[in-house]
Structure 1
Amino acid sequence: MDILITVLGDEAGSEASSLAEWLRADEDVPKSAISLARTPTAKGEMGPVTDIVQLLLDPTTTSATLTAVAAWLTARRQTTTIHIKSGDREVEVESASIKDPAQAAKSLMEEIEG
């Protein structure tokens, strides 16, 4: 499963880098599945380059990885919103809405798997 995560409002890319580092530190998340990609603006447009965390997961690691993403969100000091895309499915999650990372991961799985 290919999952793209964008941290909204993160023009400097520091939050996306923080998320990637958090995931790499989690022993349940395969390190080889995590990459940080840059999405340039469209040709002729001005604006920031967006950093995206790209995850290439197999079914056995998806739940643990999404739990780690939810845990990262709950650890944010200020309200943080992420945009998750997998195939043609997209969902946004705000840190303030997460009470239990495992339950949030389950809900995310349902959203992106259909």
Structure 2
Amino acid sequence: MNERWDGAYIARSVVDRGMSAWSTNAEEVNRTLPRLAGEVEKNLAAAPWGAGAEGDAFRQAHLRDGGPVEMINQCKRLGEQIVDAGDRLRQAIDNTRQTDADIDHDLTRLTREV
């Protein structure tokens, strides 16, 4: 069944498949990201660069401007945004469909009253 939306027809099945794919990917990000971040954090805590002057220079360069810790924090924020965007989009779609249904109902009722 196609529904009107701003002069365009949108196939509900296509929207549902797209939202399902978005949710699946968001779940994968939520499931995988903590494990991957934990591995990076564990490796950083092991300080594999050593204690000498060369190791210290590498550590300073590697961790400059937040280094991999900043990358992990940005990935976590991005993961949250991916989930949130999907939730907000689903709500917007549901609201739009409900508004369209309400308008159709009102128009049908008005037509019968005339």
TM-score of the superposed pair, with normalisation by structure 1: 0.24
- Larger proportion of strand: 1
Higher radius of gyration, 1 or 2: 2
TM-score of the superposed pair, with normalisation by structure 2: 0.24
- Larger proportion of helix: 2
